[in-house]
Structure 1
Amino acid sequence: MARNFGPLICIMIMIMDVVAGILGIQAEIAQNKVKSLRMWIFECRDPSYQAYKLGMAAAVLLAFSHVIANLLGGCICFWSRAEYERATANKQLAVGSLILSWIVLGAAFSLLMIGTLANSKSRKSCGLAHHRFFSIGGILCFIHGLVTVAYYISAAATIREEKKSRQDQTTPSA
């Protein structure tokens, strides 16, 4: 008897991305609590260890949810334009959401890591103000969750369609 773990995997991916987003926003709040001296666009401030920890946790959860979705979703890709034109809507959606999930991952992970590194213990920085990196990265974590779940669902549907079409081709018709 085959079990369908798809809904459980989707819920797990969404939970990890939502928690990563909340941690990113909490890191922004913790970063804003430290003392800073601001003059026009320049700012001198102490690093926040709490923001560092929260930002690192958010980045790790984001990466972990992406890895899980890609490993369990499988590799869905096109090798030619002709294959793209012959592909089902599920396969086209899977490829499109896979590309979009990588783009959102790159942006969110970069923003979270920039904020995290700016708050490492060894950096008392003076320079251009670095605001909203954590909060924008956290919001992108929510978007990543939606896009990644769309990828997983469409990839699973594509795999099911391909299995069914292979079975239909191998069974002789009466």
Structure 2
Amino acid sequence: MAKLVGILACLLIFAMDITAGILGIKAEASQNKEKHLRLWLFECKNPSHEAFTLGVAAATLMCMYAHVLANLLGGYTIYTQQETQRASPSRQCSLACLVLTWVALAIGLALLVIGTMSNNKSRATCGFTHHHYLSIGGILCFVHAGFSVGCYVTATAAFQ
């Protein structure tokens, strides 16, 4: 029964992150459909409501559901530096995956939020280009999925 719950948790985390990544890439495609005028580093474009909605959904899925679920189900404990050095290799791998999961979340979420906010209706002004922030944030959702599942699997293996 525990194995079945673990497999379902991994699939759920993976599915939410992959869905967030696809939504981020679709938001980028929707953003690129809008008319824009570009002059060197500056760009004037109309915001896309569809890109805004998809960006919010991607950021919510990545942060609120997938990351929180992965951290709640992982059963992590905080170690001192000495305990970390004496821990088993699978526990050390789990800790490394946990740190990389947080890094992927921080960078991916920041890119998704920046890309989403550039499509806010009140931001129909000219400014610096925000190219590919949504798609790169979507790709980092895929990276987050890999590290989250790896973290959960290694934490479960270390626990047993």
| TM-score tier (shorter) | over 0.9
**Residue equivalent to 1:60:** 60
**Residue equivalent to 1:122:** 122
Q: Per-residue deviation at 1:41? A: 1.4
Q: How many residues align?
A: 158
Q: Per-residue deviation at 1:83? A: 1.3
- Cα separation, 1, equivalents of 2:22 and 2:51: 12
For 1:107, give the aligned amino acid: I
For 1:79, give the aligned amino acid: T
**Residue equivalent to 1:22:** 22
**Residue equivalent to 1:96:** 96
Q: Residues 1-174 of structure 1: matches in 2 within 5 Å?
A: 2-4=1-3, 5-63=5-63, 64-80=65-81, 82-160=82-160
TM-score, scaled to structure 1: 0.87
What are structure 2's unaligned runs of at least 5 residues?
A: none
Q: Name the SS of the counterpart of 1:124 in structure 2.
A: coil
TM-score, scaled to structure 2: 0.95
Whether the aligned pair in 2 keeps the contact of 1:13 and 1:65 (CA below 8 Å) is: yes
Q: Per-residue deviation at 1:47? A: 0.6
- RMSD of aligned Cα (Å): 1.0
Q: Name the SS of the counterpart of 1:44 in structure 2.
A: strand
- Cα separation, 2, equivalents of 1:47 and 1:18: 25
For residues 8-61 of structure 1, give each alpha carbon's deviation from its aligned partner in whole angstroms, at most 9, with x where no partner exists. Answer: 111111111111100000000000011111111111111100000000000011
Whether the aligned pair in 2 keeps the contact of 1:77 and 1:95 (CA below 8 Å) is: no
Q: Name the SS of the counterpart of 2:80 in structure 1.
A: coil
For 1:98, give the aligned amino acid: L
Moved over 6 A (4+): none
Q: Name the SS of the counterpart of 2:83 in structure 1.
A: helix
Q: Name the SS of the counterpart of 1:19 in structure 2.
A: helix
**Residue equivalent to 1:170:** none
- Cα separation, 2, equivalents of 1:14 and 1:125: 37
